[in-house]
Amino acid sequence: MKEAQKAEAIRLSLAGLRPCQIMDVMEKSHGGAPGAAGFLCQDMYNFIARQKKEKVHGSDAEYVLNFMDGKKEEDPEFFFKYNKDDEGRLQNIFWSDSQSQVDYEAFGDVVVFDSTYRVNRYNLPFVPFVGLDNHRKTVMFGCGILSNETVASYVWLLQAFLEAMRQRHPRSVITDGDLAMAKAIEVMMPGADHRLCSWHIEQNMVKRLRGNKLKEFRRFIYTHMDVEQFEREWAEYRSRHKITENDLWMGMLYELRKKWSTAYTKGRYFLGMVSNQRSESLNARLHKHLERRMSLIDLVEHFQACTVSTRRRQIELDAQAQHGVKFTDRSADPFEKRVARIFTPDMFPKVKEQVRRLHKWKVTEVTLDNGFLLHEVSSIENTSRRVQVRCTFEGALLVNATCQCRMMESEAIACGHIFCVLRHNNVVEEIPAFCISLRWTKEAKKAFQTELGISTQVWSEQMDRFHALRNKGNCALFKASKSEAETERVMQFFDGIMSKEIENNGSAHATSFGPLPTHFSAAHRSSTSGVLDPKKIISKGAPSLRKRWKAYPEFWRTN
């Protein structure tokens, strides 16, 4: 491989391409024929593998901590915290940049995290903290790497997370079924509503239940029913399938029913999420570039690259929302037209659905109850279907409304019953503020914007010059290619450069093909010297890269 090809390979690798994909790009740039690039695919694999090996000279842990120091220089609000064990080995680490903290201010009402991925050479749990933005897309709040899954480790992690977020606690959290994590949440976030991920429960149901026993059990997770109906059907289910007290898994699920059953989670604030799919989707994207034996610094840098990619998409969605309005028919309900201007394009269909449902309901009775006006709202198609909407008035002004269905309380979206009551009370021109959750609107992030632009890579002196020449050269070469004479003149100029011996007058690191850490200085290295790499965890039947560790094992972890 030529040196220019090596530099290009590193650049494409950092963009997330695998070696085989980089090979495809390079062969196509040389005409497309196999071998046109002048080297084999195995040469590409070997070069990238050598680069990764040479990248960390000495301590992987020190390299990660120096990386964090560099980020702190670029971004004064960048937060990171770590601790060491008695042997001086890196034990736990958490980090969050300023944009993550800003996003948490806007969207940190529900936090999703799990620790079921172990994608590094030490087999350490990798714990991203994510949420849901105003486009219903994943937003990242921070990330942790732990040495084990004990209560103490999770308490340390949550302490670091809350410290980064200035002690602002989330309203709700969604996690996997780890009991140690649950205990840590009780200690550090006692006011947060905790839900268990339905996906993890499903995986264990499939392993343990069959046929009707499995089909009937799904009702307890997803079917809307009240608590009394749940308890009655649970007793009937146990009797029908002869489930005894010796079934510890079933008994434990029942003890935790308030954290997973729709009967108990109705009206609780989870924004319509029933699983940690946000964390799952992030892990799926990360998995495209992660390897079981990768170093911690590789893991951290890949997470950083994934964060940049996610934020690029968020910026695009923000721009689309600010400069466009979803189409509505000329004959559309005034509420629907107003909703199109307030909410983001991704939220508009969900709110529009509720606006259109108002025509399926009518107010059949209004009564006074302790200063509130109770509106009984009945289905036009089936008058036996009824809900109550409690309204608060200040004089003739409607200032608040709460519905028995509790959609506003659980998803931060006003329901069709409330829109029906608004129409009944002649509130038709504007949508009242109590029906609008700022987190779903186009203006959700305006109060929390940051002006900071964070660079993700610092390159060696030669690579900086190479990138500058390449960027300008691409435009110049395309222009020169329009003329045969100009093309010949440029080719002769290039031949002259290629025939010269040019010495590198830079530093010892001036010829490095990959990016240098932004912190590359003796002062930074001395500040974290002496921190050893973490111990490798030996897991039970170590899973393959693409196989998740299942929550709810035979006996739950209770460390």
Segment 118-149, tens digit of pLDDT: 666 788 888 999 999 999 999 999 999 999 88
Helices 151-164 and 179-188, packing angle to 10 deg: 40
What's the pTM? 0.79
Torsion region of 551: left, alpha or beta (phi above 0 gives left; psi -120 to 50 gives alpha)? beta
* Separation between Cα atoms, residue 208 and residue 313, nearest integer Å: 40
Whole-number mean pLDDT of the chain?
84
How many CA atoms does the CB half-sphere of 439 hold within 13 Å? 19
Neighbours of 551 (CB within 10 A): 24
Q: Cα 85 from chain centroid?
A: 29
- The per-residue pLDDT for 536 is 73
- What is the C-alpha end-to-end distance of the chain, expressed in Å? 51
- The per-residue pLDDT for 543 is 46
Helices 60-74 and 296-322, packing angle to 10 deg: 30
- The per-residue pLDDT for 53 is 66
What percent of the chain lies above the pLDDT cut of 90? 47
Residues of the chain with pLDDT under 50: 279, 452-456, 508-510, 518-526, 540-559
Residue 89's beta-bridge partner residues? Answer: 532
Neighbours of 192 (CB within 10 A): 17
Token pair for 242: 């002869």
192 in Cβ contact with 172 (< 8 Å): yes
* Separation between Cα atoms, residue 281 and residue 499, nearest integer Å: 51
- The per-residue pLDDT for 548 is 43
Q: Is 545 helix (H, G, I), strand (E, B) or coil?
A: coil
Token pair for 450: 């940051």
Q: Cα 220 from chain centroid?
A: 28
- The per-residue pLDDT for 327 is 85
* Separation between Cα atoms, residue 367 and residue 346, nearest integer Å: 38
Residue 389's closest CA among 420, 356, 410?
A: 420
* Separation between Cα atoms, residue 290 and residue 288, nearest integer Å: 6
| DSSP string across 269-312 | SSTT--S-HHHHHHHHHHHTT--TT--HHHHHHHHHHHHHHHHH
CA angle 298, 116, 533 (to 5 degrees): 40
Q: What is the DSSP letter of 532?
A: B
- Residue 14's alpha-carbon distances to 10, 19, 217, 473, 514, in angstroms, are 6, 11, 46, 22, 9
| DSSP string across 474-527 | HHHHHHHTT-HHHHHHHHHHHHHHHTS-----S-TTTT-SSEEPTT-SHHHHHH
- The per-residue pLDDT for 161 is 98
- The per-residue pLDDT for 199 is 83
Phi first, then psi: give them for residue 21, nearest 5 degrees: -70, -40
